[in-house]
Structure 1
Amino acid sequence: MEKISPLYNDAVQQIKSAILESQLEAARAANKQMLSLYYAVGKFVSENSREGTWGTGAIGTISAQLQREMPGLRGFSPTSIKKMRQFYEEWNGFLNRPPTAGELENIENERKTAKIPIFALLNINRPPMAGDLDFSEFLALSFTHHIEILGRCTSLEERAFYIHQTFINHWDKYTLRDYLKADLYHHQGKIPNNFALTLPKTLHAQKAISMFKDEYLLDFVNVEELDERNPQDIDERVVENSIVQNVKNFILTFGKDFTYVGHQVHIEKLEHDMWVDLLFYNRELQSLVVIELKKGEFKPAYLGQLSAYMRVLNDDERKANENPVIGIILCKGADKSFVEYLLQDYNQPMGVATYKVMPEKLKAVMPDEKLLLEVM
């Protein structure tokens, strides 16, 4: 490879950066325009199909004719057009204010000329009703992402939550679908805990509280290995093995910035041996995270066991630049008020979350050493 001077190389890097930035902005602009087009078509279809202007089967007929007149056209199947109608109808009430007299005149002129207002979404000049919905983030999401969210969420606050999380975390539609399925909105930041009392800084405590949910959906657990005499009594080792064998899925379920350290991690103190079920490290919190799995309902003794593990890890494993170890008990059920009452007497940051599995998923879970090596 031919070497060039540092001066020229710097010029190359600056031009390259400008090209990539321009391409990104072009992609963003194209996505905004596509959303606005779908919104406008949805409005047009809604007004004609809902008010009885069109007959039965009109959307299918229109879709077929579009394909004939524009060979190779994609995204305008009958199903897609109905999703455009849904997109408009679900957001219209939130995004639009009553039109002014001048705008009413423009709307009437558009109807007379049969013009579809393809820039309507981009020209909305009233902020949404929820202060936490950033309209620039709204326009940055793909139409597919929006349809996923609309299929699961009804309130504006919940939609705004998933739009924001998708935007800042760069979720693809499959990741978004998983979080929607796990109902992240209603579970994140609600774990019974004592973080505010035990973590050294308020901001750090707030991060920890928002990091963990009060319930986790472990739909990759192999239910064929459960005790057939009592399917509800899930053996904790089965859950642990399933987590280890599907550690990428588990990290996705738990959230961002988790790194797998190990399972059944051996620690020793004063000639007493202990084994930690699952050990992770969280880069955002800069803390080791201990997860203790329990097959049944929460018991007060679990807090003492977890506290002992955390004490040893803090003394022997925690680095000088790291924050205190955080401990999570993951069990089948827990009385939140009772847990919070008991946690008041503990001076280490702990929380108690619950999990559930999906019995209809009966796929076998086989050990995969390559998977573990990839994430370690």
Structure 2
Amino acid sequence: MYYGIGKYVSENSREGFWGKAAIETISRQLQAELPGLRGFSAANIKFMRQFYEIWSVDLKSLTAVSEISDTQSLTAVSEIDILQLVESDNAIEERFDLSMFVSLGFTHHMIIVRKVGPLTERLFYIHQAVINKWSKEILTARIDDDLYNHRGELAHNFIQTIPDNRQTLKTIGMFKDEYLLDFINVEELGERDKEDIDERVIEQEIVHNVKKFIMTFGRDFAFVGNQYKLEVFGVEHFPDLIFFNRELNALVIIELKKGAFKPSYLGQLCTYLRLADDQMRKPHENPSIGIVLCKSADKKYVEYVIQDYDKPMGVATYKTSDEMPEKLKRVLPGVEDLKKLL
């Protein structure tokens, strides 16, 4: 309906005989004739026009593409194809699903159209918003985080270590190269120097805010435990965080590091993955996946040193709320001011 109204308004206001005040007049008349009618303010009607004008040509081409792609099979995918699918915008366009498009609420569409330009990015956020059931606040945050340009950029060895190509694609698409853990405010963790904030402090903040962490990290994650004891030959090991991902059907072990990436972290994580596969993994589950989450990492260096490990691992970085740009810090009220307002 909104698309149709947008088309009608566009055709008459852009090329027709309507004057500048026509939309405001129509809005007032609708609200006068239909008391209580919502969603037809002048601003919303103008957005319906914008919605139509942005999507009209694209929808025609996308529905044609989707009909062709439905007849194609992706059962045989090579390693080169996987890289192309992850990096190619055409892959997103070919996955277009009209039912998914129309199932997304119009408010969500408004956010995407206002904040996102290129077609492939719009399709990406529509797909993610639907499958992850994002609220409008989460959608806005993910767009502001520039999730689209962080997809598939995680430094990893998944292609070499996961034999099933479909599983490889799913795994690559599940993780980002950088995460904003904005619920962790290092400045509020005590009167200590920031250098003294160790991994355990950050880990506890994640555990206390595990719901927010899962929503940040991705979809279909279930929390298993932290500092989970794994023992072999009398030696005890304690992985920082363990999750289970339903879509990947695999345990995900996250090792937190407060500083820059070091190659030794991969050896430690590889040991945890072997123990988890031996002691925790169920017969029907896929091999466990490991993620090193550190403050900084050189992607090319990580890709160089990670290639000889036989366990699926990746390295991502994170930021906390204290790293907000100074320009934003000056504009936003402080924590105490916010508490008073609330």
| TM-score bracket relative to the smaller structure | 0.7 to 0.9
Deviation at 1:330, TM superposition (A): 0.5
Q: Which residue of 1 is the match for residue 74 of structure 2?
A: none
Give the aligned residue type for 2:302: V
For residue 238 of structure 2, give the secondary structure of its aligned residue in structure 1.
strand
Conservation of the 8 A alpha-carbon contact between 1:45 and 1:85: no
Q: Is the contact made by 1:225 and 1:238 (CA closer than 8 Å) also made in structure 2?
A: no
Aligned to 2:28: 64
Name the counterpart of 1:81: 45
In structure 2, how many angstroms separate the alpha carbons of the residues matched to 1:273 and 1:52? 79
Root-mean-square deviation (Å): 3.1
Is the alpha carbon distance of 1:53 and 1:322 closer, same or farther for their aligned partners in structure 2, counting shifts above 3 Å?
closer
Compute the TM-score of the two structures, normalised by the length of structure 1.
0.70
SS at match of 1:322: coil
- 2:284, 2:13 → 1: CA distance? 58
1:144 and 1:173 in contact (8 A); partners too: yes
SS in 1 for 2:48: helix
TM value normalised by structure 2: 0.76
Q: 1:82 to 1:201 in 2, by over 3 A?
A: same
* Alignment CA distance shift 1:42-1:297 (3 Å): farther
Residues 64 and 282 (structure 1 numbering): CA distance in 2 closer, same or farther, change over 3 Å? same
Distance 1:204 1:312 in 2: 21
My pick for the range that moved more, 237-246 or 348-357, is 237-246
Give the Å deviation of 1:313.
Answer: 2.0
Counterpart CA distance in 2 for 1:244 and 1:125 is 44
- Residues 271/127 of structure 1: CA separation in 2 closer, same or farther (3 Å cut): closer
Q: Which of 167, 179, 198 is the aligned partner of 1:216?
A: 179
Q: Aligned to 1:151, which of 110, 114, 117?
A: 114
Cα deviation digits, residues 287-338 of structure 1 (max 9, x gap) = 2111011112111111122122222222222233322221100011111111
The Cα shift of 1:76 comes to: 1.2
1:94 lines up with 2:58 in the alignment: yes
Structure 1 residues 296, 281: CA separation in 2 closer, same or farther (over 3 Å shift)? Answer: same
Determine the structure 2 residue equivalent to 1:54. 19
Larger-gyration structure (1/2): 1
Residue 280 (1) aligns with residue 243 (2) = yes
Once structures 1 and 2 are overlaid, which stretch shifts more, 229-238 or 274-283? 229-238
Corresponding position: 1:206 with 2:169: yes
How far does residue 168 in structure 1 lie from its aligned partner after superposition?
A: 4.0
TM alignment of 1:10-49, pairs within 5 A: 34-44=1-11, 46-47=13-14
Aligned residue in 1 for 2:76: none
Is the Cα contact below 8 Å between 1:222 and 1:238 reproduced in 2? Answer: no
| CA drift at 1:342 | 0.3
Q: Distance in 2 between matches of 1:285 and 1:140?
A: 25
- Residue among 182, 193, 217 paired with 1:254: 217
Q: Which of 133, 136, 155 does residue 192 from structure 1 map onto?
A: 155
Query: SS of the residue aligned with 1:256?
Result: coil
Task: Provide the secondary structure at the position in 2 that maps to 1:276.
Answer: coil
Residue 329 of structure 1 aligns with an amino acid whose one-letter code is: V
Tell which deviates more after alignment, 283-292 or 160-169: 160-169
Residue 300 of structure 1 corresponds to 263
Task: Give the SS at the match of 2:228.
Answer: strand
Instruction: Give the Cα–Cα distance (whole angstroms) in 1 for the partners of residues 157 and 265 of structure 2.
Output: 15
TM superposition shift of 1:240:
1.5
Structure 1's 321 and 73: CA in aligned 2 closer, same or farther, altered over 3 A?
closer
Q: What do the CA deviations read for 1:64-89 (whole angstroms, capped 9, x no partner)?
A: 33322321121112331232232123
Local SS of the residue matching 1:210:
helix
Structure 1 pair 77/259, CA: closer, same or farther in 2 (3 Å)? Answer: same
Sequence identity (%): 51
Structure 2: any 5+ residue segments left out of the alignment?
Answer: 67-89, 323-328, 337-342
5 Å matches for 1:332-371? 332-359=295-322
2:317 match: secondary structure: strand
Cα distance, 1:147 vs. partner?
0.8
**Cα deviation 1:326-353 (Å, max 9, x = unaligned):** 1100011111111010011211111001
User: Mean alpha-carbon deviation: is it higher for 354-363 or for 270-279?
Assistant: 354-363
- Return closer, same or farther for 1:230/1:90 CA change in 2, 3 Å cut-off: farther
The 1-side partners of 2:10 and 2:312 are apart by 51
User: Quick check: 2:3–2:48 contact (8 Å CA) kept in 1?
Assistant: no
Contact 2:13–2:19 under 8 Å retained in 1? no
| Whole-angstrom distance in 1 between the partners of 2:239 and 2:257 | 12
Distance 1:150 1:354, change over 3 A: same
Report SS of the residue matched to 2:229.
Answer: strand
Q: Which amino acid aligns with 2:6?
A: Y
The alignment of Structure 1 onto Structure 2 pairs a total of residues equal to: 302
Which stretch of structure 1 is more off in the superposition, 272-281 or 316-325? 316-325
Q: Is the 8 A contact 1:46 1:89 kept in 2?
A: no
Deviation per CA, 1:128-172: give whole Å up to 9, x if none: 994443334323322212112112211111111222333444444
Q: Deviations over 1:110-142 (max 9, x none)?
A: xxxxxxxxxxxxxx9866994443334323322
C-alpha displacement at 1:276, in angstroms? 1.2
CA distance in 2, matches of 1:298, 1:77: 52
